[in-house]
Structure 1
Amino acid sequence: MKNKIVIVGGGAGGLELACKLGRKLGREQVSLVDCRLYHIWKPSLHEVAAGTLDIHQEGLSYQMLAHDNGFTFVYGALTALESASKRLTVSAVRGDSGETILPERHLEYSALCIAVGSISNYFGVPGAREHTISLNATDDAERFRLKLLELLAMAELRKDLQPDAGLDIVIIGGGATGVELAAELREASGVYADYGFRRLDPAKDVRITLLEGAPRILAPLPERVSSAAARLLAKRHVTVVTGCRVVDIQANSLTDAEGLTRPADICVWAAGIKAPDFLQTLGLPTNKAGQIEVTDRLNVTGFPDIYALGDCAACPGAEGRLVPPRAQAAHQQADYLNDTLLRQADGKPAPDKPYAYRDYGSLVSIGQQTTVGSLMGSLKGLSWFVEGLFARTMYVSLHLMHHQAVLGTMRTGVLAVGRFLVKRTTALVKLH
C-alpha cells in the first residue's frame, strides 16, 4: 500500500493535519493511522468521566472524517518503523474473542508525521498503575463513569444501615485535568442525586479530595488563576490539599509522605504525563521523558523525512525551554506542518521561518458555568486574568474551533445547535 504522507495518531494535532492535507491532496496521498475508531477532543474527557458528556454523541468517527476530508483511515497501532526503507508496520486488529478482524499491514511513506500524544507518568509510585484511573483516552473516562455509578448505587443502598454512608473520590494532581474533573464531579453529583440517588447529600456524602504536590494548584499558571480556582473549588465543597506527595496507593486508600492514610473508593491519577513507551523502540532519538527530539522545523533530529508534533514531540521553544504539551501547541504545529508538506507536494522549498510557539494563555473549566484563566497579550510577559461568562465563552470557543478545523464551519454550527437541543430533551448526566 503506497502512501505519500502518513500521519500516526488522530488526536487534536494529527487529525487536524490529516483533514487539512486530505482536502488539498486527496486520499491517495494522505493516510491517518490510529488504534481507535473515533475521535474525541481530549480536554473534554473530564466531562465524559463525570457523565455530563455522552461519548456516543460527542465522538467523531475517523472513517466518516476520512470520507468527508479526503484522506485514508488505517485502523491499527504503529508497532515498528523501518526508517531506511521508509516503511512502517500497523498492528493486526482483533475482536473480543481474539479473532483477527484486520491483518498486520505495512505502509510506505515519503513523509511520516508522528502525533501519538501522551500517557500518564506514574513516577514509580507503588500501586499507582494498578489502583488508579488515568484519563488518557475515552475508554478510561467511560471506566471511571461506570465505576462512579456503581459506587453511588452502593452508597445509596447502605444509607438505611449506615447514615454516614457515602463515597470518597481522590484526585491526585492539581493541574488542569485534576481541577476540571473535581469541579465537574461536584456539579454532576448534585444531578445524579436528582436522578434517583436522593438519599445522598452531594456536598456531604460525595467527598471529593484534590491532592497536589506543589505549594498551589495550577502551579504553571499565574498565581491569581490558581487562587481563583482554589476559591471556586472550596465553594463547591472540594477539599484541596497542597504540598502533599503520595507515596503508596492501595485498593481503597492511599498514603502520603507524612504517613497519613486517606480513604479512596475511586482514585484518579492526574499527576503528570509522558510520551508513550513504544516510541523508544522505533530507533528515533528521544529525551528522558520519552519524547521524540525534533528540530525547530519539527522534523525528527537526523531524519529529514520524519516529523513529530504534539505532546510526544520534544520541540525547542523560547529561552531553551521545550514547547509545553498543550492543545494549542499541537494546533499550531499542525498548521506549520500543513504548510511544510503542501510545499513539498508542490515541489517548493520549505518555509523560510522555523516553527515558533505562541502562548495565547490558558483557560481552566470550573464546572459547566464557570471558567478561569489568563489570556496573553502581544507584549511579552503581559497577560490578563479572566473569569466568569467571558472566560467560559472563550473556553467553549476552543472546542468549536477544533471542530471547525475537522468538520467545517457549517457542520460545526449545526452540531452545536443539535447538541444544545439534545441536552434539553435528555438527562443532564449519562445514567447507563
Structure 2
Amino acid sequence: MLVVAQPLAPARKPVSNKALHRQPIIMSQTSTDSPLPRIVIVGGGAGGLELATRLGDTLGRRRQADITLIERGRSHLWKPLLHQAAAGTLGIDDNELNYLAQSTWHHFKYRLGAMDGLDRARREVLVAPTLDETGREIVPRRRIGYDILVIAVGSQNNDFGTPGAAEHAIALDTPEDSRRFHRRLVNACIAANTQVEPLRPEQLKVVAIGAGATGVELVAELHNSTRVLAAYGLDRIDPERDVRLSLVEAAPRILPALPERLSVAAAGELAKLGVQMHTGKRVTEVTATGVRTADGDFLPAELVVWAAGVKAPDFLRDIDGLETNRINQLVVRPTLQTSRDDAIYALGDCAACVWEGHAGNVPPRAQAAHQQASLIARQITRQLRGKPLLTFHYRDFGSLVSLGEHSTVGNLMGGLSKGSMFIEGHFARFIYWLLYRMHLHALHGFWKTAFLTLARMISRTTEPRIKLH
C-alpha cells in the first residue's frame, strides 16, 4: 500500500506537524491513467523547474511516481536575467530552455497551459484553454488530477491600480515583456535617428518606477546598451545628450529592502552614470508621455517600466478555500504545505512562509525558491515512504545588485554571521555570474553547464555586443 500526502476536507482546521506524521493517507485513485502517485507541479520558474527536474531524475526515472509540470510558457528564462534581455545585452533565444526538451531529458511530463482554478475535493487542477496569436484554441480546457500538488506560479508586478499603469507601462514579468520593451527601445532610437525635427520632450527618456533590484539593474544596463546601440550606425543620436534614465521610488532611498550600505554604494555608482534618482516620490499616474507624482512633478518619458511592488497571481486569492494573504500568496506551514491542505505545497514568490527569527516572511528571491524546491523534493520522497516531514529553515546568503558593466555591489553571508560582508567590483561581478551557473547546474548537471558556458563565451565573439532587433 503506497502512502502519500494527506487530503483534508476544506473546512478542516490545520493539523500540527506532529499529528500529520502519525496520519499517512492512502493515495487517491480518482481520474488517473497511472497506477503511480501523481505529483503535479504548477509553474516552471526557477523553483518549479528545478523541482520537476530533481523529482524526474529520481522518482520519475525509477518509475516510483508520475511527475507532471503545468506551465503556460513553452520555454524557461531565469527571471533575474529579464532586465538584461530588456536592455538587449542578453539574447533570450540563446538562454531559454525548452520545457518539452527538458521534460524528455529528465523523465517528467510537460503540459502546456495556465492554472486558473482548483478542485480540492476531487484533487484536480483546473487548466484554462490555450489559444494561439489569432485566438484559435490549441489546447482545450481540462482537469489534471494529482495526489500531491506543488504550486510555484511565482509573482507579478503590482501596479496598485495606478491610473494608466496597465496601458502605458511595461512590467518585466516574462520574456515576452522583455522582448516588447527591447523592440520599443530599438524602434525609439531608430525613429529619433531618422527624424528631421527636434526631439520631443519625452523622446529617448526612460523612467523605471520602483528602485528595487529590477529597476536599479535595468537603468544601469540601459546606460551601457543605449550607447552601444547608438554606435551601430545611429550617428545622429548622442547618448550623453539625448538619452535620459530615471528612477522613481516611494521610499526614502533606492533598494529600500536591502542594507543601507548597499543602497548608498549603488546610488553612488548610478550617479556617476548620470541616472536621475527621485526618491520619496509616489507615482499617481502614468500617461503616454510620462509619469506624474503625488507632489505634482511630471517626468517626461517615452518608455516606462513598472518595477514597484509584487503580488502573487490574482487567481490564487482564496482559491477553493486555501488561505491567502493580502497579496494573494498562499500561506504555508514550516513544512511548506499550505495551511489548510496537507496534499498541497507552495514555494517561491507565491508562498507566504514565515521567516524564522525575523519579522515578516521569507523574501521573494531566487535563492529562497531554490532552497524551498530542494526541501520539497525531500519532503515528497519522505511522504511516499511514510517518513516524518522536515521543517524549512531559510538561509540568507545576502544580496547582489548588478550595475551592468560598470560594477556590482552586494552583501554576502547575510544569514550566516551577525553582520554581513560588503563586496563590490570584480569579485562581486564574479559571484553574480556564478549564481546563474548554479541555476543551470541544478537543471543540467556539471558537464552540460560547463559546455553551455564555454559555447556561449565563444559565440559572443562573433555577435554584436547587444541585440539589435
Question: What TM-score do you get using the length of structure 1 for normalisation?
Answer: 0.96
| Structure 1 residues 406 and 179, CA gap change in structure 2 (3 angstroms) | same
SS of 1:421's equivalent in the other structure is helix
Query: For 1:63 and 1:34, how far apart are their aligned partners in 2?
Result: 11
Q: Quick one: which of 301, 323, 339 aligns to 1:285?
A: 323
Q: Specify the SS of the correspondent of 2:317.
A: helix
Does residue 1:11 correspond to 2:32, yes or no? no
Q: Is the 8 A contact 1:164 1:205 kept in 2?
A: no
**Are the equivalent residues in 1 in contact too, given 2:318–2:324 (CA < 8 A)?**
no
Asked if the contact 1:4–1:29 (Cα under 8 Å) also holds between the matched residues in 2, the reply is yes
CA deviation after TM superposition for structure 1 residue 229, in Å = 0.7
2:444 matches 1:407: yes
Task: Tell me if 1:244 matches 2:281.
Answer: yes
Q: Aligned residues, how many?
A: 429
Deviations 1:311-361 (A, max 9, x none): 00011112342111111110010011011011122333323xx10111100
Give, in whole Å, the separation in 2 of the partners of 1:332 and 1:193. Answer: 42
Correspondence for 2:68 among 31, 48, 63: 31
* Equivalent of 1:154 in 191, 213, 225: 191
Does residue 137 (structure 1) correspond to residue 137 (structure 2)? The answer is no
Matched, 1:331 2:370: yes
Give 1 or 2 for the bigger CA radius of gyration: 2
- State the match for 2:435 in structure 1: 398
Matches within 5 A, 1:111-260: 111-158=148-195, 160-162=196-198, 166-260=203-297
Equivalent residue in structure 1 for 2:138, among 84, 91, 101? 101
Question: Where has structure 1 moved over 3 Å in runs of 4 or more?
Answer: 163-166, 377-381
CA distance in 2, matches of 1:207, 1:377: 34
Matched-pair identity in %: 46
Corresponding position: 1:68 with 2:102: no
Query: What letter corresponds to residue 220 of structure 1 in structure 2?
Result: A
Displacement of 1:282 after TM fit?
Answer: 2.2
Q: Report what 2:30 is aligned to.
A: none
- For 1:298, the equivalent position in structure 2 comes to 336
CA–CA distance in structure 1, aligned partners of residues 443 and 214 of structure 2:
24
Asked if the contact 1:38/1:59 (under 8 Å) is kept, the reply is yes
Q: Which residue of 2 aligns with 1:313?
A: 351
Shift of 1:151: 0.6
Partner SS state of residue 98, structure 1: coil
Partner of 1:376: 413
CA distance, structure 1, for counterparts of residue 350 and residue 414 of structure 2 = 28
What CA distance in whole angstroms lies between the structure 1 residues aligned with 2:417 and 2:162? 38
Could you say which residue in structure 2 is the equivalent of 1:273?
310
The aligned runs of 1:336-347 (5 Å cut-off) are 336-347=375-386
Residue in structure 2 matched with residue 420 of structure 1 by the alignment: 457
Cα pair distance change 1:245/1:378, threshold 3 Å = closer
Unaligned runs of 5+ in 1: none
SS of the equivalent of 1:385 reads strand
Shift of 1:156: 0.8
Counterpart position of 1:22: 56
One-letter code aligned to 2:115: L
3-state SS of the aligned residue for 2:335? Answer: coil
Residues 353-412 of structure 1 deviation map (CA, whole Å, 9 limit, x = unaligned) = x10111100000000352101012565431011000000000011100000001111111
Contact kept? 1:18, 1:32, Cα under 8 Å: yes
Whole-angstrom CA distance in 2 between matches of 1:425 and 1:410: 24
Deviates more, 1:374-383 or 1:188-197: 374-383
1:147 CA drift (Å): 0.5
Q: What CA distance in whole angstroms lies between the structure 1 residues aligned with 2:334 and 2:378?
A: 14
Q: Specify the SS of the correspondent of 1:335.
A: helix
The verdict on how the C-alpha distance between 1:223 and 1:156 changes in structure 2, with shifts beyond 3 A counting, is same
Question: Is the CA contact (8 Å cut-off) linking 1:369 and 1:392 kept in structure 2?
Answer: no
The alignment yields a C-alpha RMSD, in angstroms, of 1.5
Q: Does 1:262 align with 2:299?
A: yes
